[in-house]
Structure 1
Amino acid sequence: MKLKSKQGQVLARVVASTVAGLAISGIATAQTQQVEVVHQWTSSSESYALQALKDGLQKKGMGWKDSAIAGDDGANQQQALQARLAAGNAPAAAQAQPQLLYAYAEQNELASLDSYAKAGNWDHLLTPELIPYLKYKGTWYGVPMDEHRENMFWINKKILQKYGDKVPTTWDEFNTLAEKMKKDGIIPVALGGEDWQEAEIFSDLVLGMGGPAFYKKAIINHDPATVQSPTMVKVFDELRKIISYTDPNRAGRDWNVATQMVIDGKAGMQIHADWAKGEFLRAGKKPGVDFVCAATPGSGHAFIWVLDSFAFFKQKNPAAQANQALLANTVMDPDVQQNFNLRKGSLPPRIDVAQDKFDDCAKTNFADRAAGNKAGEVIPSFIENAALERDIRAAYVDVVTQFVNTPSMTSADAVKKLVAAAKNT
């Protein structure tokens, strides 16, 4: 509570002093009582989660100007935002994953958040694995909103009960269950047709079949010897099997539509990060009753994290700067973080947020995050723009996409292409 109070008091002073300056200079505050945020959260659960932040701002007397840009795993948002930056029309803030945060910082577009971070004691308030990814060259540029776990999968409870109600803990067990569903005319795996969804499964297989050390060498370090190992060939073999368990109509399907297939019992399982849980909850479904959540087979306590933060763009208007201070304060408010992440399916980046209101899925992830941190097994996602620079990420994803959509390509061929992709970036 002291941290919350101290942070709130300091940031409140920033806002108050700026607004006072506006009054002296005669600038009308009526035009400055809203903050524009560019983001990609447009699904039902994402919009519901975002409302928690909007409500928090409203309580502080601040309006919200919504600039939502959906599609292509945030690529549409990035393109539109880059055009605005080129035109000198930056918003107050934008949702940004680490590599995008770095890109905006390199363009000298971001405002430093060092004063906020020092006042709020962020170095000791946030879960430690995220902190280096909220800074660029030692300066704070990101305010964290959530932390997702990528290596998760979801099962329709009624369908699972038909097959003994046992959650697969190995990929062989997963295949056995999927084969039974397929034989009975059930779509075993719900999947969309976007490249990042396919690559996310690949990422989970790298971890589950190779382990955390293998993931770090093959993905983060893109070590050629590791990439072309027999283990990586087996990863592609399993990926081919999983694709065979999906339906042929998945092209162009959004991730949340795939989640809905599991909710409705049209498919048995989905391999997807825990933002899928937000869709289950928004549909009124309960974990352990209507659906089952679990880390993907072979994960153990390993936790592939995904971070959403807000980057704050430089503003010349003192009123706009005051609005940014209020937004930062609200994002870091423990109640806002709790309410947002309860709805989103994720974990709060603040380590002092109470866990008692979170469901069993989240509590498992809290426990695995803690155990994984002790073992060095909390790992950044490469799909969601954290572990790899964007050109290397794109090269890896392109190979996975080619493999998935080219049935004649062998796993050995895919490995060769992956090694070449890593060398050419």
Structure 2
Amino acid sequence: MRGRLLRAVLLGLACAAPAPALPADPPESSLQVLHWWTSASERRAAKVLATRLGEEGIEWKDNAVPGGAGLGAGKVLKSRVLAGDSPGATQIIGVSVGEWAELGLLRGFDSVAVAGNWNRVLFPTVYSLVQHDGHVVAAPLGIHRINTLFYNRKLFARLQLPPPANWSEFEQAARKLRAAGITPLVQSSEPWQVATLFENLVLAESGPEYYRQLFVRLNPQAAADKRLLQALTHLRTMKGWMQLPLEEQSWTDAVRRFARRDGAMLVMGDWAKAELNEWGYATDDEFSCAPMPGTAKLHLYSVDTLAMLGAEGSRMAAQEKLAKLVVTPAVQQQFNAAKGAVPVRRDADPSGMDSCARDSWTTFASGAAVQAPSLVHRMAADEQSRDAIIAEVHRYFMNDNVTEADVQRRLAAVLRALNSRRRN
């Protein structure tokens, strides 16, 4: 029943506020693009696309909406669609692509995909993500690795600490850092950032199959599993590694604290690397990255995609040019180097990537058996399911009186309710 909630919201609001009549669009030499790339490195990546689109004779009209994890951009997109003023292109990712496509609001561009041999050059997981009912409805930009541990290379060298590869080494590193008067972990208490820690821990404890049972299939029985208990216990342990009092900060502020050595480690998607580079910190110099302990051969992924909206024929040519452009090898290389992600193409050359990107790309290229879709970044479940799970995890993280057993019972009830909604 994917898309049912979104459809109900859109139709309900549409009845309450009819869309105004708008003048016909002139032939398009520009394209408005709605997205949530607002940090310094994200703006640089968006500029790559804008510049390359400009070389095709089409002006990129930027509509960047601030807000971590795209929450603000999603609200703006819905309101604009209801007002009959949809942007020509928009950042929509993961399960949301199918929800919007089911409403008939996304333009398909099978001809672009066929001409570009997308079925052969894209990773199978990525190609599947941009399709709905057998038609291509989104253009993939890059793959982010969410299970990334950043660590201060110089602090670790001074204390003769290797990057931790498992939970035991993670705990040992935290103890040694504490003994040296260093806060082990920089992290925000913002809900999606806490949930990022949690989904990393679930993957580390269980591997991709159980992870999918819990977050993709929403299996209520999975909530009673001891692996979930262990992940929750480890999440509370990690809370003790953070600087008190806990603060709810944007991800860029968390990365800035890590850069100024407020703590020795940070768990964040690999976009943090691009932000550090933007501020003059070089990968494998001041800092470095490793897979989250326990996930060395696994890839917790999020894929950036652009979708094209509207039935107006006047902007179809511009939309198709953008869709074609973003998958070309040159743009893939430039955009993802700026964004901190890796190309969606199977024929990319990893030899030119930094160590973090090279490990991400080669791990993802190993195939579906090692891949896990990020819950937090909309790859695993619909918006309502995602938000309900994050709320339970955040409640547990912030309130030490909530026990692991409480969370497991509540999550089981939440998953049963979500499954009931899916069936109805």
> 1:72 and 1:281, CA in 2 relative to 1: closer, same or farther beyond 3 A?
closer
Q: In the alignment, does 2:46 pair up with 1:53?
A: no
- Superposition map of 1:357-396 within 5 A: 357-371=352-366, 373=367, 376-396=369-389
Q: Which residue of 2 aligns with 1:403?
A: 396
Cα distance in 1 for partners of 2:324, 2:138 equals 13
SS across alignment from 1:129? helix
Q: Which residue of 2 aligns with 1:115?
A: 111
- Superposition map of 1:255-270 within 5 A: 255-270=251-266
Cα distance in 2 for partners of 1:278, 1:224 equals 38
Q: Which residue of 2 aligns with 1:300?
A: 296
Cα distance in 1 for partners of 2:107, 2:159 equals 54
Q: In the alignment, does 2:217 pair up with 1:254?
A: no
Cα deviation, residue 103, structure 1: 2.2
1:138-188 deviations in Å (ceiling 9; x for gaps): 221110011111111100111112321311011121122112223433221
Cα distance in 2 for partners of 1:55, 1:356 equals 26
Cα distance in 2 for partners of 1:250, 1:92 equals 40
Unaligned runs of 5+ in 2: 1-24, 419-424
Q: Which amino acid in structure 2 is aligned with residue 417 of structure 1?
A: R
SS across alignment from 2:197? helix
Cα distance in 2 for partners of 1:262, 1:270 equals 7
CA contact (8 A) 1:92 1:315 kept: no
Match of 1:138 among 134, 137, 146: 134
Unaligned runs of 5+ in 1: 1-26
Q: Which residue of 2 aligns with 1:334?
A: 329
Q: Which amino acid in structure 1 is aligned with residue 391 of structure 2?
A: D
CA contact (8 A) 2:346 2:365 kept: no
CA contact (8 A) 2:49 2:326 kept: yes
Q: In the alignment, does 2:33 pair up with 1:37?
A: yes
Cα deviation, residue 350, structure 1: 1.6
Cα deviation, residue 247, structure 1: 2.0
Cα distance in 1 for partners of 2:95, 2:373 equals 11
Match of 1:185 among 181, 185, 193: 181
Q: Which amino acid in structure 2 is aligned with residue 397 of structure 1?
A: I
- Superposition map of 1:149-228 within 5 A: 149-228=145-224
Q: Which amino acid in structure 2 is aligned with residue 188 of structure 1?
A: P
CA contact (8 A) 2:154 2:286 kept: yes
Runs of 4+ in 1 over 4 A off after TM superposition: none
SS across alignment from 2:228? helix
Cα distance in 1 for partners of 2:157, 2:257 equals 17
- Superposition map of 1:315-326 within 5 A: 315-318=311-314, 320-326=315-321
Greater shift, 216-225 or 152-161, is seen at 216-225
Instruction: Tell me the TM-score normalised to structure 2 length.
Output: 0.89
CA contact (8 A) 1:163 1:177 kept: no
Q: Which amino acid in structure 1 is aligned with residue 405 of structure 2?
A: A
> 1:322 and 1:406, CA in 2 relative to 1: closer, same or farther beyond 3 A?
same
Instruction: Tell me the TM-score normalised to structure 1 length.
Output: 0.89
Q: Which residue of 2 aligns with 1:7?
A: none
Cα distance in 2 for partners of 1:227, 1:381 equals 18
CA contact (8 A) 2:123 2:365 kept: no
Q: Which residue of 1 aligns with 2:409?
A: 416
Match of 2:97 among 98, 101, 108: 101
Q: Which amino acid in structure 2 is aligned with residue 276 of structure 1?
A: A
CA contact (8 A) 1:193 1:254 kept: no
Q: Which residue of 2 aligns with 1:9?
A: none
CA contact (8 A) 1:147 1:346 kept: yes
Cα distance in 1 for partners of 2:57, 2:246 equals 44
CA contact (8 A) 2:188 2:246 kept: yes
Q: Which amino acid in structure 1 is aligned with residue 376 of structure 2?
A: I
Cα deviation, residue 424, structure 1: 1.2
Cα deviation, residue 354, structure 1: 2.6
Cα deviation, residue 204, structure 1: 0.6
CA contact (8 A) 2:68 2:251 kept: no
Q: Which residue of 2 aligns with 1:344?
A: 339
Cα distance in 1 for partners of 2:180, 2:258 equals 16
Cα distance in 2 for partners of 1:249, 1:34 equals 48
Cα distance in 2 for partners of 1:164, 1:260 equals 24
Match of 1:354 among 349, 352, 366: 349
C-alpha RMSD of the superposition:
1.6
1:240-289 deviations in Å (ceiling 9; x for gaps): 01111122354331112111222221211101111111112112222222
CA contact (8 A) 2:96 2:382 kept: no
CA contact (8 A) 2:183 2:263 kept: yes
Q: Which amino acid in structure 1 is aligned with residue 265 of structure 2?
A: M
Greater shift, 187-196 or 397-406, is seen at 187-196
Q: Which amino acid in structure 1 is aligned with residue 338 of structure 2?
A: R
Greater shift, 150-159 or 174-183, is seen at 174-183
CA contact (8 A) 2:101 2:132 kept: yes
SS across alignment from 1:203? helix
SS across alignment from 2:351? coil
Q: Which residue of 2 aligns with 1:148?
A: 144
